[in-house]
A = this chain, B = another copy of it.
Amino acid sequence: MVGGGQLARMTHEAGIPLGIKFKLLSDTPQDSAAQVVSEVVVGDYRDLDTLRAFARGCDVITFDHEHVPTEHLRALEADGVPVRPGPDALIHAHDKGVMRAKLTEIGAPCPRHRIVADPADVTVFAEEGDGYPVILKTVRGGYDGKGVWFVRSEADAHEPFRAGVPVLAEEKVDFVRELAANIVRSPHGQAVAYPVVESQQVDGVCDTVIAPAPDLSEALSGEAQQLALRIAAELDVVGHLAVELFEVRDADGNPGILVNELAMRPHNSGHWTQDGAITSQFANHVRAVLDLPLGDPRPRAAWTVMCNVLGGDYPDMYKPYLHVMARDPQAKIHMYGKDVRPGRKVGHVNTYGDDLADVLDRARHAAGYLRGTIVE
């Protein structure tokens, strides 16, 4: 696996019972996954020679992030190394411009969008619709709210162009809430769909995920799952695909969905599956990239809630960690081995049960207490 973050850490964890020998390409020996994996190569994934040396002897290469240059992935494939997901799929997660073009081509519902040339062109784009505000995104390099701007006027629209990367403009969607449809697909086309979840963001960062999404009609849930399965098939995705969605209402109040983002790897909106589903997203990602039969994605509890643990003002979480464990012996805490820095994702908590209000309260309390925003 290329990339030593928490997704690689949890993928390794899920691979252990499957008998998988996991090899990691990590930026540093201290990275989250590098702390727990036996075979770690420290190196820069942007360097083709490093990637090639790493790939030698691997049965398959997969990824913790979307940042490996597409031409490097093609070079690995030319060397005969299976790359899953492959570069032709991954380009859609790597480049938001390519993603929007492809989704539009296959008829997937998207916000109004186009590549814009400069601030003046942003105003033209705004006026083609309902005017400002507009969302601007650099087509490459963004995540967790980085590389995304909420722009209220042409004067606001200069910053995104400074990186020298093409800029995508999108209408500001007046959404009801955010959903995610997560599926896993294997090379021979077997696919499983997890229940559609509700994802709540705070300051552009995922805060809470509720599985399944409360009060979501069976029709809309099925539509979202079918859409995710279709995107995976059309783009030939292998492994876990997260389709982040906006739930919207049309002029008549009828519900619908629009695709916000794609991620082709295990995803924060699927962390609940570790404790809430029969087979976790990580285990199924491993099974998919190795072309093993996929595991059952169904939920094990009526409700599962995931809350991210962000770093707070106190670098030492040991005492709150003890408190949270003692207060709720059922809470499932997942720590990433990262140093605490304010706002940094350092772990998450999963809770599950029959009563959503209780499950939500327990997850929020545990995550808030670990961060230091709740002190009782």
Contact B322–A293 (Cβ < 8 Å) = yes
Say yes or no: is A19 at the interface (Cβ < 8 Å to chain B): yes
Contact A36–B38 (Cβ < 8 Å) = yes
Contact with B along A279-298 (1 / 0, CB 8 A): 10000000100001111100
Say yes or no: is A239 at the interface (Cβ < 8 Å to chain B): no
Contact A293–B38 (Cβ < 8 Å) = no
Oligomer: number of copies:
2
The winner among A35, A279, A333, A336 for most chain B CB atoms within 10 A is A35
Contact with B along A326-340 (1 / 0, CB 8 A): 100110111111000
Q: How far is the CA of A18 from the CA of B325 in the complex (A)?
A: 11
Interface size on A, residues (CB 8 A): 40
Instruction: Enumerate chain B residues within 8 angstroms of A220, measured Cβ to Cβ.
Output: none
Which residues from 296 to 336 on chain A have a C-beta closer than 8 Å to any C-beta of chain B?
A: 296, 300, 321-322, 325-326, 329-330, 332-336
Instruction: Enumerate chain B residues within 8 angstroms of A333, measured Cβ to Cβ.
Output: 17-18
Contacting residue for A38 out of B13, B35, B300, CB 8 A? B35
Q: How far is the CA of A130 from the CA of B30 in the complex (A)?
A: 64
The winner among A13, A38, A192, A295 for most chain B CB atoms within 10 A is A38
Q: How far is the CA of A292 from the CA of B318 in the complex (A)?
A: 10
Q: How far is the CA of A19 from the CA of B340 in the complex (A)?
A: 13
The winner among A192, A287, A337 for most chain B CB atoms within 10 A is A337
Contact with B along A162-178 (1 / 0, CB 8 A): 00000000000000000
Instruction: Enumerate chain B residues within 8 angstroms of A16, measured Cβ to Cβ.
Output: 9-10, 12-13, 36
A-B CB proximity, top 10 nearest: A19-B335, A293-B326, A293-B325, A296-B329, A17-B334, A13-B16, A296-B330, A16-B36, A295-B329, A19-B337
Known: A17-B334, A38-B38, A278-B330. 18 other contacts (CB 8 A): A10-B16, A10-B17, A12-B16, A12-B36, A18-B333, A21-B35, A21-B337, A22-B36, A34-B38, A35-B38, A38-B40, A292-B321, A293-B322, A293-B325, A294-B329, A295-B329, A296-B330, A300-B300
